[in-house]
Structure 1
Amino acid sequence: MSTPPGIDTSGTAAPTAPATVSQAAALAAELAAAGWLAPDWVDAWDRVDRAAFVPDRVWVPAPDGYHRLDRADDPARWHALAHTDTALITQVDDGTGAPEFSLRPTSSASMPRMVASMLDHLHVREGHRVLEIGTGVGITAALLAGRLGDDAVTSIELDPTVAADARTALHRAGHHPHLLIGDGTRGCAEHAPYDRVLSTFSVHTIPPAWVAQSRSGGRIVTPWGSALYNGVLLALDVDTDAGGAPRASGPVVGDAAFMWERGQGVRGGVMDTVHDQDPGTPSTTTLDPKLLVDDRDAAFCTGLFVPGVRRSIGRPPDATRDDGEFTLWLVDARTQSWACVDRTPGATVFETAAHGPRPILTQVEAALAWWNAHGRPERTRFGLTATADAQTAWLDDPSNPLPTTHSDARP
C-alpha cells in the first residue's frame, strides 16, 4: 500500500525488555482505587511500565516554572516520578536546544489519570481500529496495542525525534503498532476507516480528515479549547447528515489542558502584541475581570464567543495573588488588537484601555451577558458539531447553537 504524503514509516525494531510489572500494576491499582481507571482497562495498564517510555531527561512542573531532572543525577526521584500520577515534560522548544530560561513545553508524558480518562471515553472494544494522533512517548499507543493488538492501532507523530524515541520504547516493550511520522491533522487514509480517533493534543478546530476517516458509528476523543481557555475534553460520535456527509457531534465530558497542535498554536508571548502600541482612549467598564480569571465556566464560554483572543495577567510589584489587584490583558495577535482592564479590590467600575480595530472588550462583555442570561452554564453543558466545512458550538443540544458559531477559532 502507498504511504500518505508527508508520512514516513521507516525504522527498525529494537530489542525487547521485560516490563516492571509490579510497578506498572501498582500505578494501575492507584488509578483504579481513585476512580480514574475503568475495570476493562486494568489488565492493559498492568502490563505497561510507564518508566520504560519516559526519557532520561524530563522537566518537572514547579511553582516558578519547570525544573530539569536528569535520571543520572537523581535516579531515585526520576523513578519515583515515572511511576506516579504526574505529568512530565519530555521536550522543550521543539528540541531545538533553546536557552533553558525559555522552557516552552512541546511534548510530554501526560498525567496517567488523564490518559486513563481519555481511553475510557474512547469506548473501545475488541475488533476496533484506532487512530492515535500524537504518539508522544508512546505510552498510549502501548496501552491501545496491548488491549486491541498491534495491527489495530495506527499512531502518528509530527516530530521525527520524538517519534524515533517512541518507536524504540514501544519495540523494546514488545509492541509493534503502525507508527508513522507526519501531520496528524491529515490522519492516515491508508489504514482508514477507523472506529476510534484519539488526539493527545488540543485543537481549536476539528480537522476534517478525522471526521472523514472515521467509520459511521465511530467516536473521536480530543482535547478542545479556545485561545482564551485551554481546555476541555470532547467525545464526538460520528454519523452522517441528511445529505450523507460525515459529521461528528458530542458534548464536553471533562477538563483536559493539553499542548496545542503545532499548526493551531501561537508562538510568542501574549504581550508581544501590546509592545510599543498607543493605548488609545481610556474608558471604564462594570465588568469585573476577576470573573475571567477565577471562573472557568465563564472563561470557557467567553472563549467560544471571542475566538483568537488570549489573555495575560499583570500585577503591581507590591501586589500578591490574594489581594485581588491586577490588570487583565486581552489580546488578538492576528488583528494587532488588545484591551486591558485594571482591577482594584472593592471597586464596581474599572478603568480600561484598548488598541486596534477589534472591539475585544465589547465582545467579551456581550459573551458574559449571554452566559449570565442563560443561567451561567457549566462548561460540560456545551458541545460541538463538526463537518468537513464548519463546526458549531452548542448549549445542551446540537439544536441549540450559540449565536456566534465556533466555525473557525484559530488564534
Structure 2
Amino acid sequence: MTANARQDRPGRTELGRVLMSGGALPPEWAPSFETVPRSAFLPDLMWPFDMETGTSIAVSQADDPAAWYGYADADVPVVTQWDDGKHTGREPGQVSTSSASMPSVVFRMLRDLDVRPGDRVLEIGTGTGWNAALLAHRTGAENVVTVEVDGAVAERARVALERFGAGVGVVHGDGYEGHPEGAPYDRIIVTAGVRHIPFAWVEQTRPGGLIVAPWGTHYGNGDCVARLAVARDGRSASGAFTGPVEFMKLRAQRLSPVVHSDYVTGGPEDRDASATDLTEDAFLGERFSPQRFAVSLRVPHCRHVVAEKRDGARPVWFYGLTDHSWACVMFRDGETARIWQSGPRRLWDEAEAAHQWWENEGKPGHQRFGLTVTAEGQAAWLDAPERSWSV
C-alpha cells in the first residue's frame, strides 16, 4: 500500500478515539484504521446521512472539501449510489443501492470475523472497496477476494484499490454464489443484508472457518450480525448473533414493495375487529429493540410496516407474503389498541403470540438467538441449536 496513504486529520484522530473507547475498534485493527482512511475510497459527490436532520445530503469534495472530509471522518453511513446507478444529479434518489457503512459497524463486523494474518478472505459486496482494503492490510492483499454484483461499482472500487496500492482481486459477479475459484476460504464476510444464507458459502469455507453476515427475515429491514462457524464435517454452519444492524439488501434477495391495495379490499364485513392491551412501547420498543427481532423470527412469511405517528395514533400493518392475509393494529395514546384482520392467517394474533413468547422466555436480547445453516435450509434458535425452528 502507498506510504503516503495515512492522513492525520483531527477528525480521523477523534473518530479513532471514539471507536476505540466504545469498543468498536479492537487493538489489532487499529493499525489498519490508521493506515487505510475511508476518504480514499469515497467519490467526489456523496450523500452522507446527517444525524441532525435525519436525511441524506449531497456533499461534494470539489465544492466543500471541509464538509466532505468531515463526513468522511465521521461515524455516519454514506450513500454512494442511488437506484442501481440510474440516478443522476445532486439530489438524493429514491432508493440507496450502494454505500460506505458506518465505521463503527465496519470494525465491529471485522472484530467478529477474527481475521488473522495470512487468512484467505472472501468478501461479498465490494461497495467502495474500503472494507477490502482494510482486510488487505490485515491479512495481505493476495489473500483477499471481493465480489460485487454491480459492474460500475466494481470498476470504481477496483480503480480506488489500485490507486491506493491494495492489489485485491475484484470480481464482478453475483456474490450469492460466492466465488468457488478461490475456495476454500478461512473467512467469508458479507456487507449486504441477507434473508437466506446460501449453502454455497458454507461449502466454500474451510471446516472451522467463519462466516459473518447481516441476516434477518422479510418481516422488516432490520438485520442482526450472524457469526457462523463451519462444522468439522462441513455439513453445517452455526453460531449466535452478535448485535443488530441494518444493511442494504443483497440484490438477489430484495423484496418488492407491498401494494397495500392488493391486500385491503372489500368492506368492514370482510375483516375481524378486536382489541389488545399490548401497548405501542411494549410491542415496538426502539428501532433495534430485541422484541422486534424476536417477533420477526416467530412470524414467518410476513412483512410489517410501522407508519408515522400522527395526532397520537400510529398504525402498524402486517402483510402475508404467501397469501393476501393482512392485519392492522392502531396504537393510540391513552387508549386500548384496536385490531383489524383479514385472510386465512390472523397475522396480529401470530405477532402478539410471538411477543408473549419473548416475554415468557425472559425478554432475551439479540445475543441469545442464533442461526444454523445446512443444505436443507436455515433454522433460528434460542440459547442453543437444540431449541431451533425453521425460518
Q: Output the TM-score relative to the length of structure 2.
A: 0.90
Q: Give how far 1:102 is off.
A: 5.0
Q: In structure 1, what is the Cα distance between the partners aligned to 2:264 and 2:157?
A: 40
Residue in 2 that maps onto 1:337: 325
Residue in 2 that maps onto 1:409: none
Residue in 1 that maps onto 2:384: 397
Superposed CA RMSD: 2.3
| Correspondence for 2:79 among 89, 101, 104 | 89
| 3-state DSSP of counterpart to 1:35 | coil
- What one-letter code is carried by the residue in structure 1 that aligns with 2:294? C
1:75 corresponds to 2:68: no
Q: Give how far 1:274 is off.
A: 4.3
Q: Cα gap change, 1:394/1:273 in structure 2, threshold over 3 Å: closer, same or farther?
A: same
| 3-state DSSP of counterpart to 1:383 | strand
| Correspondence for 2:106 among 100, 115, 127 | 115
For structure 2, the 5+ residue unaligned runs are none
RCO comparison, higher one (Cα < 8 Å, 6+): 1
| 3-state DSSP of counterpart to 2:316 | strand
| 3-state DSSP of counterpart to 1:220 | strand
| Correspondence for 1:312 among 283, 305, 322 | 305
Q: In structure 1, what is the Cα distance between the partners aligned to 2:82 and 2:297?
A: 29
Residue in 1 that maps onto 2:256: 267
Aligned runs of 1:10-409 on 2, under 5 Å?
A: 18-23=4-9, 27-62=15-50, 63=53, 65-97=55-87, 103-229=94-220, 230-240=222-232, 244-268=233-257, 271=260, 273-274=262-263, 280-286=270-276, 288=278, 290=280, 291-294=282-285, 296-315=289-308, 319=311, 323=312, 325-348=313-336, 350-402=337-389, 405-406=390-391
| 3-state DSSP of counterpart to 1:375 | coil
| 3-state DSSP of counterpart to 1:351 | strand
- What one-letter code is carried by the residue in structure 2 that aligns with 1:21? Q
Q: Give how far 1:135 is off.
A: 0.5
Q: Cα gap change, 1:278/1:90 in structure 2, threshold over 3 Å: closer, same or farther?
A: farther
Q: Cα gap change, 1:127/1:60 in structure 2, threshold over 3 Å: closer, same or farther?
A: closer
- What one-letter code is carried by the residue in structure 2 that aligns with 1:344? R
- 1:44-101 Cα distance to aligned partner (Å, 9 max, x none): 1111121110111222324464222233332221111011221111111111127957
Q: Cα gap change, 1:289/1:356 in structure 2, threshold over 3 Å: closer, same or farther?
A: farther
Q: In structure 2, what is the Cα distance between the partners aligned to 1:207 and 1:111?
A: 26
- What one-letter code is carried by the residue in structure 2 that aligns with 1:330? F
Q: In structure 1, what is the Cα distance between the partners aligned to 2:305 and 2:124?
A: 30
- What one-letter code is carried by the residue in structure 2 that aligns with 1:80? G
Instruction: Work out whether residues 289 and 341 of structure 1, in 8 Å CA contact, stay in contact via their aligned partners in 2.
Output: no
Greater shift, 304-313 or 154-163, is seen at: 304-313
Q: Output the TM-score relative to the length of structure 1.
A: 0.86
| 3-state DSSP of counterpart to 2:295 | helix
Q: In structure 1, what is the Cα distance between the partners aligned to 2:306 and 2:148?
A: 33
- 1:166-221 Cα distance to aligned partner (Å, 9 max, x none): 11111100001111011101111111001001000111111111111000010011
| 3-state DSSP of counterpart to 2:251 | coil
| 3-state DSSP of counterpart to 1:170 | helix
Instruction: Work out whether residues 202 and 234 of structure 2, in 8 Å CA contact, stay in contact via their aligned partners in 1.
Output: no
| 3-state DSSP of counterpart to 1:197 | strand
Q: Give how far 1:328 is off.
A: 1.0
Greater shift, 279-288 or 390-399, is seen at: 279-288
Q: Give how far 1:336 is off.
A: 2.9
Q: Cα gap change, 1:39/1:307 in structure 2, threshold over 3 Å: closer, same or farther?
A: same
Instruction: Work out whether residues 212 and 388 of structure 1, in 8 Å CA contact, stay in contact via their aligned partners in 2.
Output: no
Instruction: Work out whether residues 202 and 237 of structure 2, in 8 Å CA contact, stay in contact via their aligned partners in 1.
Output: yes
Q: Cα gap change, 1:105/1:278 in structure 2, threshold over 3 Å: closer, same or farther?
A: farther
Q: In structure 1, what is the Cα distance between the partners aligned to 2:35 and 2:116?
A: 18
Instruction: Work out whether residues 225 and 241 of structure 2, in 8 Å CA contact, stay in contact via their aligned partners in 1.
Output: yes
Q: Cα gap change, 1:130/1:362 in structure 2, threshold over 3 Å: closer, same or farther?
A: same
For structure 1, the 5+ residue unaligned runs are 1-14, 407-411
Instruction: Work out whether residues 186 and 207 of structure 1, in 8 Å CA contact, stay in contact via their aligned partners in 2.
Output: yes
Q: In structure 2, what is the Cα distance between the partners aligned to 1:106 and 1:245?
A: 33
Instruction: Work out whether residues 117 and 140 of structure 2, in 8 Å CA contact, stay in contact via their aligned partners in 1.
Output: no
Q: How many correspondences in the alignment?
A: 381
Q: Cα gap change, 1:50/1:289 in structure 2, threshold over 3 Å: closer, same or farther?
A: same
Instruction: Work out whether residues 270 and 311 of structure 1, in 8 Å CA contact, stay in contact via their aligned partners in 2.
Output: no
Q: Cα gap change, 1:365/1:34 in structure 2, threshold over 3 Å: closer, same or farther?
A: closer
Report the structure, 1 or 2, having the larger helix content: 2
Instruction: Work out whether residues 235 and 250 of structure 1, in 8 Å CA contact, stay in contact via their aligned partners in 2.
Output: yes
- 1:363-386 Cα distance to aligned partner (Å, 9 max, x none): 212212222221221121100111
Q: Give how far 1:282 is off.
A: 3.6
Q: Cα gap change, 1:337/1:18 in structure 2, threshold over 3 Å: closer, same or farther?
A: farther
Q: Cα gap change, 1:219/1:74 in structure 2, threshold over 3 Å: closer, same or farther?
A: same
